[in-house]
Amino acid sequence: MGIEVAVFDTSLSEPIFEQIACDLKHQGYSIQPNAVDPVLAQSLWREVSALSDDWFHRAGIGRANDYQLNRFNRTDSVCWIEGSSDPCREWLQYTESLRRFLNRSLFLGLFSYESHYARYLPGQYYKRHLDAFQGQANRLVSTVLYLNPGWLPDDGGELVIYESEIDQTGVRVTPSFGTLVSFLSEEFPHEVLPAKRTRFSIAGWYRLNQSSTERVDPPL
């Protein structure tokens, strides 16, 4: 007997997808409040906020053989999303619909998507960095969905998106509940400022397929 999988209804999300595509084309990043169904956002928040410490591991930098823990650059912890719960499956359906839309609209050739829950305890941070790995142009579009009900400007924890390597001011994004940020991974350095309360988000990346006869992408 096959497993019945719910089909994500893209009709309600297409105006958001259209704005994201337009923003990526003209400025390289997009900030969309209330980008996902509030019921889905609430379900994701309830799931991540109920996870015990055992589900999270210290975040590192790099991938596979280049992976390393670095408490100077980042102090958050993460839990990778595998689609094992209803909220995560619906989230992955949402991001798959966005992938298809961006490919149709911008011809980006996005191949796959990976994401994790990110937890920043009070005072934790992620210093200025790029999402693309050195020498690998596989991460093309980054996304961040914020899961913080009742977040106030004084709570801190802003994402700062810098428009160039020499930009020292940047665009600050309050991690308000339901806001979805998307940007070109290789072009925008960014950082996460310390917050006064625990801060939850889903960080994700759309990737190109760079597999070859000698290398599987992404690595297992």
Q: How confident is the model at residue 10 (pLDDT cuts 50, 70, 90)?
A: low
> What does the pLDDT look like over 47-56, one tens digit per residue?
999 999 999 9
CB 97 within 8 A of CB 8: yes
Say what the pLDDT of residue 132 is. 74
- CATH 2.60.120.620 for domain 14-207, yes or no, is yes
Neighbouring C-alpha atoms within 13 Å toward the C-beta of 3: 1
Helix and strand numbers, DSSP H then E, in the chain: 3, 13
**Digit-coded pLDDT (tens) for 62-112:** 443 343 444 558 999 999 999 999 999 999 999 999 999 999 999 999 999
Token pair for residue 102? 């961006």
State the Rg of the chain over Cα: 17
Residue 215 burial by CB count (10 A; 0-12/13-18/19+): exposed, middle or buried?
Answer: exposed
The domain limits of the chain are: 14-207
Stated length of the chain? 220
Amino acid at 78: V
Least confident segment among 16-20, 44-48, 132-136: 132-136
Q: What letter represents residue 76's amino acid?
A: D
Q: pTM value?
A: 0.87
Q: In which band, very low, low, confident or very high, does the pLDDT at 148 lie, cut at 50, 70 and 90?
A: very high
- Please give the Cα distance from 128 to 74 (Å, whole number): 9
